[in-house]
Structure 1
Amino acid sequence: MKKINLILLFLFFPFFQNLFAQCAMCRAVLETEDGGVKAEAVNNGIMYLMVFPYLLVAFALYFSYKVYKKKHK
């Protein structure tokens, strides 16, 4: 199990910094403003909200794996 966690960490963690999560309409509206500070804030907010569903799925899979292992011992 520890090997799988390390493999997943090394596969997915480096890509988090390169993601841009704005939709085309949000990007078009926010790029017309000067400075781009609002656009970066909106992008960071979208990324923040996007993480939670993945964390919920990861925890659900982890706990179901623990229950599965406990049942088969």
Structure 2
Amino acid sequence: MKKSSTILFFILAFFFSLNVEAQCAMCRAVLGGEGNAEQAQAVNDGIVYLMAIPYLLVVVIGYGVYRIRKNKKTE
């Protein structure tokens, strides 16, 4: 039961994430202005996507290590 609730939590967290604003100071200075709202949103989205990849890699590697350790315990 605990495993299924954990999986459900991660699925819900993935699909119902919060809208985040992630700009460095330099990007904010260049794109800061009323006329660049669409470009600023595109830069924000790109930064968030680039930030998500390392976290996904850590999760995948962690799950692989977990499976290997679990299989060694059962043998």
Name the residue aligned to 1:62.
Answer: 63
Structure 2 runs not aligned, ≥5 long:
none
Query: Which structure 1 residue ranges, 4+ long, deviate > 4 Å from structure 2?
Result: none
Per-residue Cα deviation, 1:45-69 (whole angstroms, up to 9, x for no partner): 1111111001000101111111111
Letter in 2 for 1:22: Q
> Percent identity among equivalent residues?
45
- The equivalent of 2:4 in structure 1 is 2
Hey, what does 1:15 align to over in structure 2?
Answer: 17
Q: With the length of structure 1 as denominator, give the TM-score of the two structures.
A: 0.78
TM-score by length of 2: 0.77
1:7-55 deviation per Cα after TM superposition (whole angstroms, max 9, x unaligned): 2333x33334x11111233112202361411111111111111110010
